[in-house]
Amino acid sequence: MTEFDLMISGQLYNAEVPQLQAMRRRAAELCHRLELLSPGQAEQRQAILRELLGHTKGSFTINPGFRCDYGCNITIGERFYANYNCVILDCAPVSFGDDVFIAPNCGFYAAGHPLDASTRNSGLEFARPITVGDNVWIGGNVSVLPGVTIGSGAVIGAGSVVTHDIPAGMVAVGSPCRPLHPVP
């Protein structure tokens, strides 16, 4: 099994092997090229994003300030919208359904580090998938941690830290983020 295979399967892996370094460098180069484009170069921006991301449906918008680790592990649905400064650490698959709206300064962190210091210091890390359903709205400055699923129709309040799954159709807020009530 390669380190990429270990990473995708949720096992401990070494992110500093040449294969993964090269993949991250490719993603960083493509993200850099995005940042060099002027606002009027929408077609070029879409082309770079389609090259970077693993799977895209029809129309989508990702505003400047976008960063990711690999890109190839990101799937976005139709009419996906990510406002400024979106970070997706896609060491595991990170998937977004249709009609997902993400406010500025949000992060989706599939990457994690062992709690045990000796294991962590050895350079090993892990990753867990993140899944966001259809028709989800995520407020500004939200952090979504490894292994979280946000159900379709959920609304995540600004500033939340999502550490556990959020059921479909719920308004959820806080740190840690907790469901409050059904979406009206």
Query: Among all residues, which ones are annotated catalytic?
Result: 113
> What's the rounded Cα separation, in Å, for the pair 84 and 45?
14
Q: Which residues pair with 181 in a beta bridge?
A: 171
List Cβ neighbours of 175 (8 Å cut-off, separation of 6 or more): 159, 160, 161
> What's the rounded Cα separation, in Å, for the pair 171 and 20?
37
> What's the rounded Cα separation, in Å, for the pair 67 and 90?
10
> What's the rounded Cα separation, in Å, for the pair 16 and 24?
10
Name the one residue in this structure whose structure tokens are 């400064």: 85
> What's the rounded Cα separation, in Å, for the pair 84 and 151?
23
